[in-house]
A and B are shown apart, each in its own frame.
Chain A
Amino acid sequence: MIELRDVGVTFPGAARPSLDGVNLSIAAGETVALAGPSGSGKTSLLRLLNALLLPTTGSVSVDGMDTRDDASLWEIRRRVGLVFQNPDDQIVSTTVERELAFGMENLGLDRDEMRSRVETLLPMLGLEQLRDRPPHRLSGGEKQRVAVAAVLAMRPRHLLLDEPTSLLDARGRADLWALLAELRSREERTVIHVTQFPEEIAYADRAVVLVEGRVVFDAPPRELFAAGSGADGWGLRPPPAMGLAGALRTAGRPLPEDILTMDELIEALAGGTQ
């Protein structure tokens, strides 16, 4: 359980708070998409959850532990894994394989366990061929997959992903979502991901929208894109399938009103044929 109570963050010298009056409570196992314009405080919010950033006002707790409590710091970092928005800010090791081992070593895992996790994760993220390469010399998308793998290797109970697909191509994105879905089906894991892709918001159970440091929306994604929700005013586009369905309806092709994803649209148009 992750709880933010009346959280405010004001950076030194800043004219106004970057987060303001944020109340959120996220149950273990929930999948939450965090969206909002650039500068709205999404990254700051994630950094609060693993105590990289402390609230200026209010409190943040993870499984009952207050992030300001130094004695809990290690346990909080063990439970909360954060994949950074920019992989270069996260990667520290000289080879891909060592980067995956790095966090596990800090957790004190034994060699066999580490080896087995590395061997499972490398192929899952398409990194087998790259295992001996220096991460800082990989391409952006490759680095991003290394950063995700390194955090997954630690099996954090709460997984935070800050725009984890921003550098991936379409296949890389689809593969990562399939992998996360599979991990969730096997063990309970909270996933909080920041995304700019409306379709990735649609994957979550719950969408939270930040605007200028405040939570302006917190409900299932379907409601976010319903008419009149305000999404447009917050700079959020509906998933493209919704727009296409609208255009087709206007052109006289009968379609259900609640289409959100491309798969639903394809099914509605060509359902029954294979």
Chain B
Amino acid sequence: MRIVLDSVGLTYDRGLPTARSGLGGVSLSIGAGDAVAIMGPTGSGKTTLLEIAAGLVAPTTGSASLDEAEDGASLKSRVGLVYQFPELQFFEETVFDEVAYGLRAARIGEDEVVRRVHAALDRVRLKPSSFVERSPLTLSAGEQRRAAIAALVVLERPFLLLDEPSAGLDPRTRDRILELIHREREAGRAILLVTHDPELAEETVDRIVVLSSGSIVADGSPADVFGDAGLLERLGLEAPPAHELVNALSRRDPAVARDVASVVLGRPALRDGVSNDRF
């Protein structure tokens, strides 16, 4: 099964004086087991891209489809999107009902619902016994985020799309999100992750696609993208601290940069004027 985006573009308010482009022509394909991060400045079209890939918004140009899938499967039924601030969409009275909502809508038996809701809460590290009865509105921000993610992972769809899942979380809760992404990957789910957190990207994906003004401007391994000091500088993006340090040093003193890279970077992954020949 693959999500295939073929030159998708989206113009908001098409035909009106307020028309504006949310996304240019983007082509991208994501298959089972893939883990891809989308990075890019604010307003570059990341959320728009996720909404299209989840089948929630139809592109105004190009096409978004689910390929190599069984009959009747659609993007909507196979892709789960966790919105930025998913906790804003709470409407049930208890955490249990909130997480159970999608399962009940799919007419799954109540025994199975209970089992899966508890398992999903465990996976996001909210102890079921302490949380099932609580009103979602009284949870703290980090607890709400995890409950909202549970409401989606409980559906066990093969594609999991996450929009800024770690924004605003404390480091421990962020690590739980990281762990959760790892576990979902191990369970065979494909991940498409939008994040401003370069370490989260580095630790969870194999490929980073960089958007700027609605178009793809870079596509490579984390080491490639984070070693590209010029690209990061141009777009105002951040790399994980070790890369930031090496990139900053290579502008000041390439010899020092190489020496530091040999210590702080897992494997030499230097580009942009700093050669690898020392390693």
Question: Which A residues contact B (CB, under 8 angstroms)?
Answer: 11, 14, 35-40, 43, 85-86, 88, 137-142, 163, 166-172, 196, 235-237, 240-241, 243-244, 247-248, 251, 253, 262, 265-266, 269-270, 273-274
Contacts and interface: CB of A to CB of B under 8 A. Distances in A.
Given A11-B138, A163-B168, A170-B238, A37 B42 contact: no
A196 B264 contact: no
Interface stretch (B27-35, B90-98, B240-248): B240-248
Contact of A269 (B12, B164, B241, B260): B260
Interface string B224-268: 000000000000111001101100110011001001100110000
Given A38-B173, A269-B249, A170 B196 contact: yes
Contact of A237 (B171, B196, B236): B171
16 contacts: A37-B142, A140-B42, A140-B167, A141-B43, A166-B168, A167-B84, A167-B196, A169-B238, A170-B236, A196-B169, A240-B242, A244-B241, A248-B260, A262-B241, A266-B245, A266-B252
A170 to B, nearest CB: 3
Contacts of B12: 137
A235 B172 contact: yes
B56 interface: no
Interface in B13-49: 41-43, 47
Interface of B: 12, 41-43, 47, 84-85, 88, 138-143, 164, 167-174, 196, 236-238, 241-242, 244-245, 248-249, 252-253, 256, 259-260, 263-264
B167 A247 contact: no
Nearest to B252: A270
B47 A139 contact: yes
A138 B47 CA distance: 11
A38 B42 contact: no
Nearest to A263: B248
Residue of A39, A40, A169, A243 most packed against chain B (CB within 10 A): A169
A142 B88 contact: no
A247 B264 contact: yes
A253 to B, nearest CB: 7
A270 B142 CA distance: 39
B137 to A, nearest CB: 11
A170 B47 CA distance: 18
B195 to A, nearest CB: 10
B38 to A, nearest CB: 13
Contacts of B252: 266, 270, 273-274
Contacts of A235: 170-172
Nearest first, the 10 closest Cβ-Cβ pairs linking A and B are A38-B142, A171-B236, A141-B42, A170-B238, A39-B140, A240-B241, A166-B168, A270-B252, A235-B172, A273-B253
A175 B236 CA distance: 10
A274 B256 CA distance: 12
A163 B169 CA distance: 9
A196 B248 contact: no
Contacts of B140: 38-40, 43
A167 to B, nearest CB: 5
Residue of B41, B42, B253, B256 most packed against chain A (CB within 10 A): B42
A15 to B, nearest CB: 10
A236 B171 contact: yes
A37 B172 contact: yes
A248 B256 CA distance: 12
Contacts of B253: 269-270, 273
A231 to B, nearest CB: 10
Contacts of A274: 252
Nearest to B84: A140
Nearest to B245: A244
A241 B84 CA distance: 29
B169 A262 contact: no
B253 to A, nearest CB: 4
Contacts of A36: 170
A265 B172 CA distance: 25
Given A88-B88, A171-B236, A269-B249, 19 more contacts: A11-B138, A137-B12, A139-B42, A140-B42, A140-B47, A166-B168, A167-B42, A169-B236, A171-B41, A196-B169, A237-B171, A240-B242, A247-B263, A247-B264, A266-B245, A266-B248, A269-B256, A270-B249, A273-B253
